[in-house]
Amino acid sequence: MTSKVEPGQWLGVLGGGQLGRMFAQAAQSLGYRVAVYEPAEHCPAGDVADHHFAAAYDNWEQLSAFCERCAAVTVEFENVPPQALEFVAERTRLAPNASAFATARSRRNEKTLFTSLGVDPVPWRYTESPSDIRDAYAELGPDVVLKTNEFGYDGKGQWRIASIDSLENAVSAIGNTPCVMEKRIDLDREFSVVLARADNGDVATFDVVENVHVSGILHTSTVPSCADEAQQDRLVGAARAIAESLDYVGVMAVEFFVAKDGRVYTNEMAPRPHNSGHYTMNGCRSSQFEQQARALAGLPLGSAELHSPTVMINLLGDAWSPVLPLKRLLSQPGVNVHLYGKADAKPGRKMGHINVTAPSAEKVGRLAEYSIEVLGVGATHQG
């Protein structure tokens, strides 16, 4: 890494989704100009950027112009083709580094790293053929989850298998696509840790977050979580060990499972800000996106301290019926709405999120329940 990037210079982001949009807004607040590189003509990040390179990831001419403009580049989406990342890393500062992305894009690579660091993943096997899948099932069954090794998100690319019939259905659907099979865990809680790491090795860790997923998609994140101090130390220690091992620069998130029998498993990592860190935009002294901009620019990290108990509620397309009940939400003090500027509200599509803050955990819980009722979208508790 080289010296710091001065306000007025350009920071770049590969990928044009909502994470890129919130990064761009945070970087612009610090005085940077932001270039987004994303093939789609209209996208949440491109719409707010100072410049949008709307070109394919293998358009070397455009990618070269992007690198020439940007003093440093980050990524908001882990499936940017590795060749594009290499190309960028040869021409400008890329943070996180390409090996962090190579780890995070493959579930097999992630789990192998977790095992080597002693932060155990769920029992798993790698498969790349029907016979691998059947052998793995004989070992890990009867209740497993089969996940594509790459390109999965929001529960997509996953099959629950709990019988020989469902095994054979999955085998025909997947064929020779590389996958990992995991034992299905009887979950008590899900947690995540979001942290920022600077190029001088400083680390700022946000509080442990408690997450509730519905149909594989994050529904709510709550801070403070119910994790006790020993559990928090363990999860934070695991996330820090992963970041150190990758010589990571930027914002990273790690997801954890706690089973009903008390065992803790490391689920997956994200080499970027994470949906479960959106609460930091209103609950913490510096948001995860501000930390991302600071780390990328080589500035000192901000404080990750929580100043208000916060619940984040995802706004999926499902909540538009036919429009979002904005007035009822916004008339409550402590409800902050963040929308991503997406035109079509489809079920399961992440359209925005709301952060509910209050002076106490009890009050924030009540306000979150009220908001969820207004939205008609489920509960803040698992099960």
Query: Does residue 255 bind ligand ADP (CB under 6 A)?
Result: yes
Helix (H, G, I), strand (E, B) or coil at 220: strand
Q: What does the chain come to in residues?
A: 383
Listed ranges 49-57, 151-159, 197-205, 276-284: which one lies at the site for ligand ADP (CB under 6 A): 151-159
- CA distance linking residue 251 with residue 307, whole number of Å: 20
CB of 210 to ligand ADP, least distance (A): 12
Phi, psi of 214, deg, nearest 5: -125, 125
Rg (CA), the chain: 20
Phi, psi of 56, deg, nearest 5: -70, 155
Nearest to 58 by CA among 24, 37, 95, 84: 84
Listed ranges 57-65, 170-178, 185-193, 350-358: which one lies at the site for ligand ADP (CB under 6 A): 185-193
Structure tokens at 338: 């963040």
Residue 122 or 133 with smaller CB distance to ligand ADP: 122
Query: Does residue 185 bind ligand ADP (CB under 6 A)?
Result: yes
CB of 201 to ligand ADP, least distance (A): 28
User: Looking at residue 9, what DSSP letter applies?
Assistant: B
Binds 185: which of Mg ion, ligand ADP, none (CB < 5-8 Å by kind): ligand ADP
Residue 52 or 147 with smaller CB distance to ligand ADP: 147
Residue 38 or 255 with smaller CB distance to Mg ion: 255
- CA distance linking residue 270 with residue 40, whole number of Å: 23
Structural contact between residues 232 and 222, judged by C-beta atoms closer than 8 angstroms: no
Binds 209: which of ligand ADP, Mg ion, none (CB < 5-8 Å by kind): none
CB of 215 to Mg ion, least distance (A): 13
Binding footprint of Mg ion, residue count (CB under 5 A): 1
Binds 213: which of Mg ion, ligand ADP, none (CB < 5-8 Å by kind): ligand ADP
Query: Does residue 126 bind ligand ADP (CB under 6 A)?
Result: no
Structural contact between residues 277 and 251, judged by C-beta atoms closer than 8 angstroms: yes
* Of positions 84, 88, 145, 284, contacts ligand ADP by CB under 6 A: 145
* Of positions 120, 132, 135, 268, contacts ligand ADP by CB under 6 A: 268
Structural contact between residues 174 and 146, judged by C-beta atoms closer than 8 angstroms: yes
Binds 155: which of ligand ADP, Mg ion, none (CB < 5-8 Å by kind): ligand ADP
Query: Does residue 110 bind ligand ADP (CB under 6 A)?
Result: no
- CA distance linking residue 264 with residue 340, whole number of Å: 34
Please give the C-alpha separations between residue 48 and each of 34, 80, 218, 295, 315, in angstroms, as whole numbers: 9, 20, 25, 21, 20
Helix (H, G, I), strand (E, B) or coil at 261: coil
Please give the C-alpha separations between residue 179 and each of 104, 126, 148, 160, in angstroms, as whole numbers: 14, 6, 4, 13
Residue corresponding to tokens 């996106």: 289
Binds 328: which of Mg ion, ligand ADP, none (CB < 5-8 Å by kind): none
Which residues in 252-291 contact Mg ion (CB under 5 A)?
255
Which residues in 210-229 contact ligand ADP (CB under 6 A)?
213, 216
Structural contact between residues 184 and 160, judged by C-beta atoms closer than 8 angstroms: yes
Residue 141 or 155 with smaller CB distance to ligand ADP: 155
* Of positions 25, 267, 291, 308, contacts ligand ADP by CB under 6 A: 267
User: Looking at residue 202, what DSSP letter applies?
Assistant: -
Query: Does residue 154 bind ligand ADP (CB under 6 A)?
Result: yes
Contacts with ligand ADP, residue ranges (CB under 6 A): 122, 145, 147, 152-155, 182, 184-185, 187, 190, 213, 216, 255, 267-268
Contacts with Mg ion, residue ranges (CB under 5 A): 255
